[in-house]
Amino acid sequence: MTIVQEREGGVVATFFAALGRSVQLMMLALLGLPWVLLRRDSRQTFSRQLYTIGIGTLPVATVVAMFTGMILTLQLGIAFKQFSQEIMVAYTLSFAMLREMGPFMTGIILASCVGSAMAAQLGTMKINEEIAALEMMSIDPVRFLVAPRMWAILIMAPLLSFYTCIVAFLGGATVGFTQLDVPFLQFVAEIVTVAEVKDLYVGLLKAALFGAFICTISCSVGFATTHGAAGVGASTRRAVIYSFLAILAGGYFVTRFFYVF
């Protein structure tokens, strides 16, 4: 990737220029799969990223998912109890988690924990001229740095989303049993009964899409970092905010595509 001087332009032009660069970066990173698999260096980075994204975020994901499942169950339970329909909590929780909350929470966790780290690392590398050094060695920074991250997050985000759903269901079942007097196994059985395969694969697809958004945005912002340590801080903040916005907007459009049309 060649470093090209930013051209002056309006806000709209700047936005579309940044969007274009991000889409280009995402495509190049996706096309970098052969390098990720074949080059030893990239494989090592890929393995490290799999660990960081998957295992590294597992404790946070567990706590967030557990409490989300518990809170949702409790709130819904209070409402459904008025109609003696406590078991409907499992039904609602299944829909909410598989379709929306699982991938959404995964996206938020990944944007906060992984996306910010990606932006900070690449931003620091940019400031320290390590990106320029890679270019001088005729090593494509996108292929070398972004492609392993992209493929790692594409693999780990759906897995993490699935794990998040399971933990939330367990948290919900625990609250259902202790607070709403719904037997634990009945709660779990209800979730399994109402869950559709489509909900599962749309949820997993969403998680993968959110992962791709997070990686693309964080790496783009990281590569565009200027102005030293303050610039790295600003890039990190931008990466998280833009990722959140992309997750929200992306979630809406995917839902609309799969459940409305």
Partner 1 sequence: MSSEVRMAQDAGVAMDTQCIRAALADAGTRQTPAICFVDVMKSFGERHVQDHQTFSVQAGELFAIIGPSGTGKSVTLKLIAGLLRPDAGEVRVLGKTLSELSSKELSQLRRRIGFLFQGGALLGWKTLAENVALPLQEHGRLTANEIEARVQAALAEVGLKDAGELYPAEVSGGMLKRAAFARAIIENPEILLFDEPTSGLDPVMAYTIDSLVRKINRAHHAACVVVTHDMAGALRYADRIAFLKDGRFLIVDTPEAIRQSDLPEIQSFLNPEQTEVSHV
Q: Binding segment for partner 1 among 95-103, 132-140, 157-165, 229-237 (CB under 8 A)?
A: 132-140
Least spacing, CB of residue 7 vs partner 1, in Å: 11
SS (H, E, C) 225-245: CCCHHHHHHHHHHHHHHHHHH
Contact yes or no for 78/37 (Cβ under 8 A): no
Our CB check for partner 1 shows the closer of 108 and 114 to be 114
Q: Does the protein bind partner 1 through residue 138 (CB under 8 A)? A: yes
Choose, by CB under 8 A, the member of 10, 40, 83, 260 that binds partner 1.
Answer: 40
Q: Which two tokens stand for residue 19?
A: 């969007």
Choose, by CB under 8 A, the member of 11, 12, 136, 197 that binds partner 1.
Answer: 136
Choose, by CB under 8 A, the member of 14, 16, 41, 230 that binds partner 1.
Answer: 41
Q: Does the protein bind partner 1 through residue 137 (CB under 8 A)? A: yes
H/E stretch holding 247 reads helix 228-259
Residue 138 backbone class (left: φ over 0; alpha: ψ -120 to 50; beta: rest) = left
Choose, by CB under 8 A, the member of 18, 28, 30, 39 that binds partner 1.
Answer: 39
Choose, by CB under 8 A, the member of 47, 128, 193, 226 that binds partner 1.
Answer: 128
Q: Binding segment for partner 1 among 96-104, 129-137, 150-158, 225-233 (CB under 8 A)?
A: 129-137
Q: Does the protein bind partner 1 through residue 43 (CB under 8 A)? A: no
Choose, by CB under 8 A, the member of 23, 133, 185, 249 that binds partner 1.
Answer: 133
Contact yes or no for 98/203 (Cβ under 8 A): yes
Choose, by CB under 8 A, the member of 3, 17, 31, 249 that binds partner 1.
Answer: 3
Our CB check for partner 1 shows the closer of 40 and 261 to be 40
Contact yes or no for 15/129 (Cβ under 8 A): no
Our CB check for partner 1 shows the closer of 42 and 92 to be 42
Half-sphere exposure of 243 (CA within 13 A, CB side): 37
Helices (H) and strands (E) in the chain, counts: 13, 0
Choose, by CB under 8 A, the member of 67, 129, 198, 229 that binds partner 1.
Answer: 129
DSSP 32: T
Q: Does the protein bind partner 1 through residue 82 (CB under 8 A)? A: no
Residue 171, amino acid: G
Distance CA 116, CA 127 (A): 16
Q: Binding segment for partner 1 among 50-58, 122-130, 185-193, 235-243 (CB under 8 A)?
A: 122-130
Q: How many residues does the chain have?
A: 261
Q: Does the protein bind partner 1 through residue 17 (CB under 8 A)? A: no
**Pick from 114, 130, 131, 150: nearest CA to 29:** 150
Contacts with 171 (C-beta within 8 Å, 6 or more apart), sequence order? 65, 66, 67, 68, 69, 70, 73
What are the residues binding partner 1 (CB under 8 A)? 1-5, 39-41, 128-130, 132-133, 135-140, 144
